[in-house]
Amino acid sequence: MVDQEKIHNQCLSDNLEERKHALEQLEEFFDLMPDKEQAWNGLHRLINDEYLSVRSSAFHALSSVFSQVPDKQQAWNDLHRLANDKEWFVRSRAAYALGSVFSQVPDKQKAWNDLHRLTNDEDRYVRNSVAEVLGSTYSQVPDKKQAWNDLHRLINDEVNYVRSSSNHSLGKVSTFMASQAETDEDYKKELEKAIEFFETAAKEVSDKLLNPSRFCLPFYRSFHTIIFKKQEAREEVNKYLEEAKSAIEDSESKKQLLEAVENLAEALKEVQSMGTIDLPRMKSEINFYRKYCEHAAEIMKCTDEKAPFATEVLRKGLPILDRNLKELLEEIQKKSKIACKESKGTEAEEIVCEINKEIQNILVDYQVQYLEATKILEDILSIVKMKIPQIPENKLILSKIEAVDNRTISADKYHDLPLIISLMSTVKVVPKQEMDQIHRKIEYISGKSDLIYDKTIRIDAKLDDIRFAIFLIKLNSHNVISNLDAM
C-alpha cells in the first residue's frame, strides 16, 4: 500500500536523496494516491527545487502524471516558466515535457510559441529536443506551416543529430499527412516522402539506439512495397524486415507494428505468384491474405495510443490491399470463364465447364462469407478426382492430382491445382457408346466369372470325394499289411 504521507514528507525533506526518491514514488504511484491535491503540491514544489537534478527529474514525472494533475493551469505555468530557464538542461527537459503533454495544455498557442522559440535556442541539445517533439505535436499545433518551416530549417542545422531528429520528425509529419489523404495518389506521395525523410535521418546518425529512423525506414519501406509493388516484392520485403528487426529496441509498439508488417509480408508471399498461370490459384492464398490483413488490423488497435499516425497509415493502406484482392478475384472469375469457353467443342468441355462452375460458386460464396480455404480446395480436388477418367491416357494429370492429395494441408498444398485445372483440356474422355460397350463387356465377364466360380465349387467337391476315397484305400491297405505280418 502507498504511504502518501511519507512520500509527501520526503518532498519537504532537506535531504536531496529523499526528495529524489519522493519524485520516483510520485511518478510511479500518483494514480493510486487518494489525495491528488497533496500529491500535486509535492510535485509542484520539486519542480521548483534549487537543485538542477531534481528540477529536471520533476519534468519527467510531470509528463507522466499530467493528465491526473488537479491544477493543469499551474502545471502549464511551471512548464512555460521553465522553458525559459537559464540552464540548457532544464530547457531541454521542458521541451520534451511540452511535447509529451501538448494535447492537454490549456493554452496551446502559448505552448506552441514556446516550442517555436526553442527551435532557435543557442544550445544544440535544446534544438534537438524540440526537433524530436515537433513530429508528434504537429497535428495539434495551431501554426502547422510555421512548424513545417522550423523543421525544414533544422534539417540544415550544423549538428548531425539535430538534422537527424528534424528529418525523422518530418517523416512522422508525412505519415500524418498520409493518414489524412483522401486519394490513393496522395497517400502514396506522402508515404514516399516519409520514406525519403526517414532515409536521410537514418544516414545522419549511425547509432540505432539514438536513431528511431533505423526502424521506421525499413518498416515503411516494407509497407510501401506490400501495398504498391505486389508481385515483385518478396526479396525487397525480406530485406527490409531484416533491417527493421536489427533496429528494434525494447519498444512494445515497435514490436507490434513490425509484427503487423510481417503478417502483411506473409500475405504477400501467399498471393505473389497468383496471376502468372492461366487458371487461378483458387482461394487458398486469398483467404490467407485476408487473414493476415485482419490480424494486422487487430495488432494496430493495440498501438493506437503509442503510435497513432503509424497505425492510421497502416489502416488506410488496408483498403488498397482489399481493392487489390477484389481485382484478383475478378481476374480469377474471368480466366475461369475463358477456360470453359475455350474447351467448347472438345471432349474435355463437360469436365472443364463443370470445374468452372464450381470455381464461380466458390468465389460467390467467398464474397458473401469468408469460407475456410482448405475445405473449399479439398472439395474442388475431390471433384476433379471424381471426374477425371481413370485411364492410362490421363496418367500425367492423375499423378499430379495424387501428389496434391497426398500433401499435408497448408497454404502451399494447392499450388499445383491451377496447373491441374489448366490441363483439363488435354483430358482423354471415353465416349458414352464406348463406355456402354465396356460396361457390357464387364457384365459379360462378370457373368462368366460367376459361371466359372460355380464350376470351380463343383470341381472342389469332386476333388474332396476323390481325396476321401484315396484315404479309405490307404486305410484298407494298412489293414491288409497288418494281417499278413500276423500270419
* pLDDT single digits (tens) 378-412: 766 777 777 777 778 778 878 888 887 776 554 44
- Average pLDDT value for residue range 471-476: 55
* pLDDT single digits (tens) 202-219: 888 766 555 677 767 776
**Beta carbons within 10 angstroms of residue 221's beta carbon:** 24
* Range of lowest pLDDT (220-224, 247-251, 358-362, 416-420): 247-251
Q: Which value, in Å, is the radius of gyration of the alpha carbons in the chain?
A: 39
Question: In this model, does residue 316 exceed pLDDT 60?
Answer: no
pLDDT band, residue 130 (cuts 50/70/90): very high
The whole-angstrom separation of Cα 338 and Cα 335 is 5
* Range of lowest pLDDT (50-59, 130-139, 245-254): 245-254
Question: In this model, does residue 127 exceed pLDDT 80?
Answer: yes
pLDDT band, residue 116 (cuts 50/70/90): very high
Residues 6+ apart with CB under 8 A from 335: 278, 279, 280
pLDDT band, residue 193 (cuts 50/70/90): very high
With helix as H, strand as E and coil as C, how does 217-252 read?
HHHHHHHHHHHHCHHHCHHHHHHHHHHHHHHCCCCH
* Range of lowest pLDDT (33-42, 102-111, 171-180, 306-315): 306-315
In eight-state DSSP terms, residue 155 is T
The SS3 assignment for 342 reads helix
260 within 8 A of 222, measured Cβ to Cβ: no
**Beta carbons within 10 angstroms of residue 188's beta carbon:** 17
pLDDT band, residue 279 (cuts 50/70/90): very low
Question: In this model, does residue 278 exceed pLDDT 90?
Answer: no
Say which residue the cell 496471376 belongs to: 275
In eight-state DSSP terms, residue 408 is P
- What pLDDT score was predicted for residue 292? 42
Cα-based angle 16, 19, 25 (whole degrees, multiple of 5): 145
CA dihedral 97, 102, 106, 110 (to 10 degrees): 80
The SS3 assignment for 174 reads helix
* Range of lowest pLDDT (67-71, 220-224, 240-244, 311-315): 311-315
- Average pLDDT value for residue range 339-343: 79
Please report, for residues 67, 175, 191, 309, 438, the alpha-carbon distance to residue 139 in angstroms, rounded to integers and kept in the order given.
19, 11, 16, 10, 80
- Higher per-residue pLDDT: 233 or 407: 407
The C-alpha cell of 472 is what? 479309405
- Higher per-residue pLDDT: 283 or 184: 184
- What pLDDT score was predicted for residue 370? 38
- What pLDDT score was predicted for residue 99? 85
* pLDDT single digits (tens) 86-109: 888 888 888 888 888 888 888 889
